[in-house]
Amino acid sequence: MSVGLLVELDEAVVLVTPHLVHADKRPRVGRCDTECAEAIGHAPGEGVAARTDVNPLGTVLKLMEELTAKVTAEGEAEAAAFEEYANWCKDVNQQTGFEIKAATSLKEKLSAKIADLGSSIQNADTKVEELAADISANEADLEAAVGVRAKEAAEFAAAEKELVEGVDTLKRAVGILEKEMAKNPAALAQIEASSIQSVIQSMGAVVDAAGFSLQDRQHLLAFVQSKQHDDDFLSDSDLGAPAAANYKNKSGGIVDVLTDMKEKAEGELAELRKVENKARNEFALLKGSLEAELANDNKNLGETKKNKAADEESKAAAESDLGSALEDLKKGEESLATANSECMQVAADHQATITARTEELKVIAKAQQIIEETSSGAEIGRAHV
């Protein structure tokens, strides 16, 4: 900003500026050009002899005072505007800083949440695999146990049926033989019962003599034959030693043999049922345990998949929120950088203006001092005052 003072002196118009001050610091006098002439109402180059009623140096001092006041007022107005702008910059900086801080905090929270959810999802995947493996193993174990139990049950049913029929047949055979002996002891005489083989060989004659039905006869012979190789069921010692002295040639011998066979069959049947009962109970316990584990594993599997789905949904939402937070953070940082740059530039411009204005005021003050230091200027100054 430059300062120019148009001063009317005797026959010329004087333009006083910082650029028209000589090295001796005295104002330089020159002809007025178009711009300065228009400012004081004269044509270019026109003299001012006709206006002798105006004190030129007094006018200069007055103009300097007015210019000083104007420059000072402009500086104050600009300072007030700059203060308002500086406050705006401060508010923007503070508000944007809060927004950046909030966005940064949100970013950190969302990032931590996403990491936790990702870890939870991975754990759920591992748990699902483990539960699926456990379920598959337990299902296989249950299927195998059911198969074994079915086989055992079938074997038991067959063995039980055989023993039940054998016991029943032996019981009826003993009863029939005892009745026949009571009626006709001679009919069953000379039946040897010293060995299983002799019993089997004599059995046909016994059943014929006792009047057995065909079905009972078949059952009895089949049962005795099935036991001939069963050392635990009926041994030769049970029938008597092979010595001739121990042979029993009475009909009571065969009755005793059959009765003994019946009792052993009943014992075997009881043991068979006991074993079956134990196996059935053990299977029930195993089956119940496996089914309970399967139910619990399937429940946990369903809950784990449900929780995993919820975590995946939450993770997707958090990732979306994180994207928005990052975008807000980027915009906030860019906005803050722009505001800071503009505010710094305005502050620099304002400082430059202050420097220039200060320099102008110094020039005006110096010009006043020079004029007042001249003898005529002092008189005019006193008159002006």
Better-scored residue on pLDDT, 78 or 14: 78
Higher pLDDT, 374 or 210: 374
The reply to whether 275 falls in a domain is: yes
pLDDT exceeds cutoff 60 at 222: yes
Higher-confidence residue of 111 and 35: namely 111
Evaluate whether residue 40 is within a structural domain.
yes
Question: Does residue 165 lie in a domain region?
Answer: yes
Cβ neighbours for 256, distance < 8 A, ≥ 6 positions apart: 193, 248
The reply to whether 319 falls in a domain is: no
The verdict on 167 and 264 lying in the same domain is: yes
- The distance from CA 229 to its chain's CA centroid, rounded to whole angstroms, is 71
271-289 tens-digit pLDDT: 999 999 999 999 999 999 9
Q: Same domain for 187 and 75?
A: no
The answer to whether position 112 is within a domain reads no
Residue 31, both tokens: 């002809």
Positive or negative torsion for Cα 320, 321, 323, 328:
positive
Co-location of 159 and 283 in the same domain: yes
Whole-number Å distance between alpha carbons of 128 and 40:
98
Domain shared by 62 and 177, yes or no: no
Residue 5 has phi, psi (to 5 degrees) of -115, 125
Shared-domain flag, residues 272 and 336: no
Instruction: Please indicate, yes or no, whether residues 234 and 154 belong to a single structural domain of this protein.
Output: yes
What's the domain range around 216?
Answer: 136-304
Q: Is residue 227 part of a domain?
A: yes
Q: Is the domain of 144 the same as that of 90?
A: no
- 48-105 residue pLDDT tens: 434 445 567 778 888 888 999 999 999 999 999 999 999 999 999 999 999 999 999 9
Least confident stretch, 88-102, 204-218, 290-304, 344-358: 204-218
For residue 241, the model assigns a pLDDT of: 39
Reference 142, options 293, 275, 281; nearest CA is: 293
Within this chain, do residues 91 and 149 fall inside the same structural domain, yes or no? no
Q: Residue 14: helix, strand or coil by DSSP?
A: strand
Do 298 and 154 have their domain in common? yes
pLDDT digits (tens, 9 = 90+) for 245-277: 333 434 456 778 778 888 988 999 999 999 999
Q: Which two tokens stand for residue 102?
A: 């909030």
Is residue 70 domain-shared with residue 24, that is, in the same domain? yes
- What pLDDT shows up at residue 279? 95
Distance between CA atoms of 334 and 126, rounded to whole angstroms?
Answer: 44
Same domain, 212 and 299: yes
- Model confidence band, residue 215 (pLDDT cutoffs 50, 70, 90): low
The total number of structural domains that make up the chain: 2
Higher pLDDT among residues 228 and 325, named by residue? 325
- Both 92 and 179 in one domain: the answer is no
Residue 1's pLDDT is 42
Give yes or no for residue 314 having a pLDDT over 50: yes
Q: Do the Cβ atoms of 225 and 253 come closer than 8 Å?
A: no
For residue 117, tell me if it sits in a domain.
no
Show Cβ contacts of residue 172 under 8 Å, excluding neighbours closer than 6 positions: 216
Furthest-apart CA atoms within the chain: distance in Å: 194
Helix-then-strand count for the chain, H and E: 7, 2
Q: For residue 178, what pLDDT is reported? A: 79
Mean pLDDT of the chain: 76
Instruction: Look at residues 288, 304, 320 and tell me which one is the last residue of a structural domain.
Output: 304
Looking from the CA of 269 toward its CB, the CA atoms found within 13 Å total 17
Tokens of 226: 């099935």
